[in-house]
Amino acid sequence: MASVNLLVLVSLAYVALLFVVAFTADRLAATGRSTWLRSPLIYTLSLSIYCTAWTFYGAVGYAARSGLEFVTIYLGPTLVMVGWWWGLRKLVRIGRSQRVTSIADLISSRYGKSTLLATCVTVLAVVSVTPYIALQLQSITLSFSIFSASGPSPDFSPGSSAFWVASGLAVFAILFGTRNLDANERHHGVITAIALEAVVKLVALLAVGIFVVWGLSDGIEATMARIDASEIGQWQVNGGRWATITFLAAAAFVCLPRMFQVMVVENDDERHLRTAAWAFPLYLLLMSLFVVPIAAVGLEIMPQGSNPDLFVLSLPLSQGRDGLAALSFLGGFSSATSMVIVAAMALSTMVSNHIVMPIWLSSRGGGASQSGDVRNVILVSRRMSIAAIMALGYFYYQLSGGGAALASIGLIAFAGIAQILPALLGGLFWRGATRIGALCGLSVGFVLWLYTSLLPGMGPSLMPEATLLHGPFGIGWLRPQALFGITGIDPIVHTVMWSLTLNATMFCIVSLISFPGPLERLQGAQFVNVFDHSAGPRGWTGSVAQSEDLMIMSQRILGAQEAHAMFQQEAALQGAHEKLPEPTPAFLERLERELSGSVGAATAHAMIGQIVGGSSVSVEDLLAVADESAQMLEYSSQLEVKSNELTRTAGQLREVNEKLTQISHQKDAFLGQVSHELRTPMTSIRAFSEILRDTDGLDAQEKIRYATIINNEALRLTRLLDDLLDLSVLESGQVSLNMRGGNLAEVLDHALSAALAGAKPPLELRRLPADENVPLLSDLDRLAQVFINLIANAQKYCDAPKPELHIHVHRDDRFVVVDFIDNGSGIAPDARSMVFEKFARAGADKAGGAGLGLAVCREIMHRLGGDVRYLDGQGGGAFRVTLPKTEGVTVQ
User: Rounded to the nearest whole angstrom, what is the least distance from the CB of residue 791 to other proteins in the complex?
Assistant: 44
Under the binding rule (CB under 8 A), the answer on residue 227 touching other proteins is yes
Near other proteins in 448-487, by CB under 8 A? none
Do 615 and 518 touch, CB atoms closer than 8 A? yes
User: Rounded to the nearest whole angstrom, what is the least distance from the CB of residue 234 to other proteins in the complex?
Assistant: 4
Among residues 28, 171, 175, 237, which is the contact residue for other proteins, using CB under 8 A? 237
**Bridge-based pairing state of the strands 775-778 and 740-743:** antiparallel
Residue 68 or 682: the one with the smaller Cβ distance to other proteins is: 68
Near other proteins in 642-681, by CB under 8 A? 642, 644-645
Supply angle C-alpha 680, 682, 685, rounded to 5: 110
Under the binding rule (CB under 8 A), the answer on residue 242 touching other proteins is yes
Residue 72 or 453: the one with the smaller Cβ distance to other proteins is: 72
Distances (CA, A) of 429 to 261, 516, 661: 21, 16, 67
Contacts of residue 245, defined as CB under 8 A and 6 or more positions apart, other chains included, come to: 69, 72, 73, 76, 411, 492
Among residues 39, 275, 398, 505, which is the contact residue for other proteins, using CB under 8 A? 275
Among residues 58, 95, 281, 422, which is the contact residue for other proteins, using CB under 8 A? 281
Near other proteins in 530-569, by CB under 8 A? 530-532
Under the binding rule (CB under 8 A), the answer on residue 637 touching other proteins is yes
Under the binding rule (CB under 8 A), the answer on residue 696 touching other proteins is no
DSSP assignment letter at 454: I
User: Rounded to the nearest whole angstrom, what is the least distance from the CB of residue 414 to other proteins in the complex?
Assistant: 18
Chain centroid to CA 251: how far?
25
Do 468 and 548 touch, CB atoms closer than 8 A? no
Contacts of residue 293, defined as CB under 8 A and 6 or more positions apart, other chains included, come to: 209, 212, 213, 217, 223, 226, 227
Under the binding rule (CB under 8 A), the answer on residue 341 touching other proteins is no
User: Rounded to the nearest whole angstrom, what is the least distance from the CB of residue 535 to other proteins in the complex?
Assistant: 14
Under the binding rule (CB under 8 A), the answer on residue 627 touching other proteins is no
Under the binding rule (CB under 8 A), the answer on residue 640 touching other proteins is yes
User: Rounded to the nearest whole angstrom, what is the least distance from the CB of residue 840 to other proteins in the complex?
Assistant: 34
Under the binding rule (CB under 8 A), the answer on residue 274 touching other proteins is yes
Rounded CA-CA distance 867/859 in Å is 9
Residue 240 or 472: the one with the smaller Cβ distance to other proteins is: 240
Under the binding rule (CB under 8 A), the answer on residue 282 touching other proteins is yes
Residue 85 or 164: the one with the smaller Cβ distance to other proteins is: 85
DSSP assignment letter at 739: -
Under the binding rule (CB under 8 A), the answer on residue 278 touching other proteins is yes
User: Rounded to the nearest whole angstrom, what is the least distance from the CB of residue 232 to other proteins in the complex?
Assistant: 6
Near other proteins in 365-424, by CB under 8 A? none
Nearest CA to 6 out of 341, 402, 325, 331 is that of 325
Stretch near other proteins under the rule CB under 8 A, chosen from 15-23, 138-146, 418-426, 631-639: 631-639
User: Rounded to the nearest whole angstrom, what is the least distance from the CB of residue 271 to other proteins in the complex?
Assistant: 7
Residue 76 or 585: the one with the smaller Cβ distance to other proteins is: 76
Under the binding rule (CB under 8 A), the answer on residue 228 touching other proteins is yes
Alpha-helical (H) ranges within 453-600 are: 455-457, 465-470, 491-513, 518-528, 547-558, 560-574, 585-599
Stretch near other proteins under the rule CB under 8 A, chosen from 375-383, 492-500, 637-645, 769-777: 637-645
List beta partners, residue 816.
811, 883
User: Rounded to the nearest whole angstrom, what is the least distance from the CB of residue 76 to other proteins in the complex?
Assistant: 10
3-state class of 777 per DSSP? Answer: strand
Rounded CA-CA distance 136/367 in Å is 42
User: Rounded to the nearest whole angstrom, what is the least distance from the CB of residue 284 to other proteins in the complex?
Assistant: 8
Do 775 and 890 touch, CB atoms closer than 8 A? yes
User: Rounded to the nearest whole angstrom, what is the least distance from the CB of residue 530 to other proteins in the complex?
Assistant: 8
Near other proteins in 61-90, by CB under 8 A? 67-68, 71, 75, 78-86
Under the binding rule (CB under 8 A), the answer on residue 246 touching other proteins is yes
Q: How many residues bind other proteins (CB under 8 A)?
A: 51
Residue 540 burial (CB count, 10 A): 22
Nearest CA to 348 out of 150, 141, 178, 196 is that of 178
Do 338 and 197 touch, CB atoms closer than 8 A? yes
User: Rounded to the nearest whole angstrom, what is the least distance from the CB of residue 42 to other proteins in the complex?
Assistant: 17
List beta partners, residue 883.
816
Do 883 and 818 touch, CB atoms closer than 8 A? yes
User: Rounded to the nearest whole angstrom, what is the least distance from the CB of residue 728 to other proteins in the complex?
Assistant: 38
Under the binding rule (CB under 8 A), the answer on residue 799 touching other proteins is no
Among residues 129, 174, 277, 868, which is the contact residue for other proteins, using CB under 8 A? 277
Stretch near other proteins under the rule CB under 8 A, chosen from 118-126, 298-306, 509-517, 526-534: 526-534
Give all strands of the β-sheet with 764-767 in edge-to-edge order. 764-767, 804-811, 815-822, 878-884, 867-870
Nearest CA to 352 out of 555, 109, 110, 600 is that of 600
Stretch near other proteins under the rule CB under 8 A, chosen from 11-19, 231-239, 814-822, 839-847: 231-239
Under the binding rule (CB under 8 A), the answer on residue 297 touching other proteins is no
User: Rounded to the nearest whole angstrom, what is the least distance from the CB of residue 57 to other proteins in the complex?
Assistant: 20
Stretch near other proteins under the rule CB under 8 A, chosen from 25-33, 42-50, 179-187, 636-644: 636-644
Residue 517 burial (CB count, 10 A): 20
Under the binding rule (CB under 8 A), the answer on residue 235 touching other proteins is yes
Under the binding rule (CB under 8 A), the answer on residue 321 touching other proteins is no
Stretch near other proteins under the rule CB under 8 A, chosen from 234-242, 595-603, 659-667, 813-821: 234-242
Among residues 13, 30, 285, 630, which is the contact residue for other proteins, using CB under 8 A? 285
DSSP assignment letter at 50: G
C-alpha neighbours within 13 Å on the C-beta side of residue 853: 19
Rounded CA-CA distance 596/603 in Å is 7
Residue 292 or 361: the one with the smaller Cβ distance to other proteins is: 292
Distances (CA, A) of 199 to 195, 286, 474, 552, 799: 6, 12, 53, 46, 107
DSSP for 63-88?
HHHHGGGGGHHHHHHHHHHHTTTTTH
In the complex, the residues that contact other proteins under the rule CB under 8 A are 67-68, 71, 75, 78-86, 224-225, 227-228, 230, 232-237, 239, 242-243, 246, 271, 274-275, 277-278, 281-282, 285, 289, 292, 296, 529-532, 634, 637-638, 640-642, 644-645
